Amino acid sequence: MANQDFHTENKVTPSSKIIEEFLNYLLTIKGYSEKSAQSYRYDLIIFFRFIKRYFAMVPQSLDFDAIPIDDVSIDDLKAIDLGILYAFLSFTSKERHNSDYARSRKVSSLRSFFNYLCNKQKYFSPNPVTDLEMPKLPARNARYLEWDEAVDLLKGINGRHKERDFAIITLFLNCGMRLSELTQIKISDIKNDTIRIIGKGNKERTIFLNHACLKAINRYLLVRQESDSPYLFLSQQNLPISNRAVQHLVKKHLANCGLNTDEISVHKLRHTAATLMFRYGNADLRSVQEILGHENVSTTQIYTHVNEETLRDTLNQNPLAQFERED
């Protein structure tokens, strides 16, 4: 059954003064993006509806997605304890069919929310999330393009906007930037062989551009239409290119060179860049973390996977690999 948390809140978003105050804190003080704040909003709406049903504040027959949340008070939240939080996570798993990763995100949302209520606003204590554990997540390997697949993708780029598309995909494959970071690049962000990137939470970082990136950008600038727009990449309408347009062009070029567009997406090009840095660039973990803009190094570690041939070669290089006992 599909994860229900991807199919609700499509029409009218319920409001809660408490939630909105928390989101304002995230946006203005913590510097979170609107997209990140929206994820927190959604998780907390689900949680508020759950506690109203849990405390029998609404008829049990009322459809869950129709439960209003504007009347949830600080006193209601003060009554939350660890057992209720675990009951909520069980509910999201059994009734809303959330994956381990979706439940992990909800734990993060609850931690941030109650830390704000208890530690920042000091509305009440004790803090119910103090001992709330994260769900155990299965180990995962990031899907990525092999080196020859990446080369085929670049070689196959053609069409009316080939210089622009080549520059975009070259930056993805070499710099590992996020989609939202690429579409926000301004021409003024490029200084000699560096580019300024505004990442998650409006955090700024500088990435060095290699020869391939510089050449691709310069070739694109030679044919870039004249525009008053400060943004580097423009659409056919001479406007800043949108995230959706970039997703579309990447999917088109992936399909043109025979790659599975169900498995490979824009974000998988970021995975590819990180993997190639580790496999061929002898990069250390901290350097790749800095390039990708990861806040936590554990996020970067999923890219340190090695293929079977590397494992085989490593074992064969053991000085005892050729030892045979003579009877």
258 Cβ contact partners less than 8 Å away, ≥ 6 residues apart = 152
Active site annotation includes 251:
no
Tell me the three state secondary structure of residue 184: coil
Active site annotation includes 305:
no
The amino acid at residue 10 is N
Closest by CA to 266, choosing from 251, 288, 245, is: 251
Residue whose pair of structure tokens reads 């080939």 in the numeric block: 162
Q: Which residue among the candidates 143, 186, 267, 305 is catalytic per the annotation?
A: 267
The amino acid at residue 190 is I
Gap between the Cα atoms of 174 and 158, Å rounded:
19
Q: Which residue among the candidates 178, 224, 253, 268 is catalytic per the annotation?
A: 178
Active site annotation includes 143:
no
Query: Cis peptide leading into 135, omega within 30 of 0?
Result: no
Q: Which residue among the candidates 162, 200, 219, 305 is catalytic per the annotation?
A: 200
Active site annotation includes 200:
yes
Gap between the Cα atoms of 234 and 100, Å rounded:
39
Gap between the Cα atoms of 162 and 290, Å rounded:
30
Gap between the Cα atoms of 19 and 16, Å rounded:
5
Q: Which residue among the candidates 164, 271, 279, 294 is catalytic per the annotation?
A: 294
Q: Which residue among the candidates 40, 116, 144, 303 is catalytic per the annotation?
A: 303
**Residue 274 in contact with residue 288, Cβ under 8 Å?**
yes
Active site annotation includes 270:
yes
Concatenated DSSP letters of 137-172: PPP-------HHHHHHHHHT--STTHHHHHHHHHHH
Gap between the Cα atoms of 292 and 144, Å rounded:
15
Gap between the Cα atoms of 113 and 222, Å rounded:
49
**Beta strands in the chain, from DSSP E residues, in sequence order:** 190-191, 194-198, 204-208
Q: Which residue among the candidates 41, 96, 105, 270 is catalytic per the annotation?
A: 270
Active site annotation includes 144:
no
Q: Catalytic site residues?
A: 178, 200, 267, 270, 294, 303
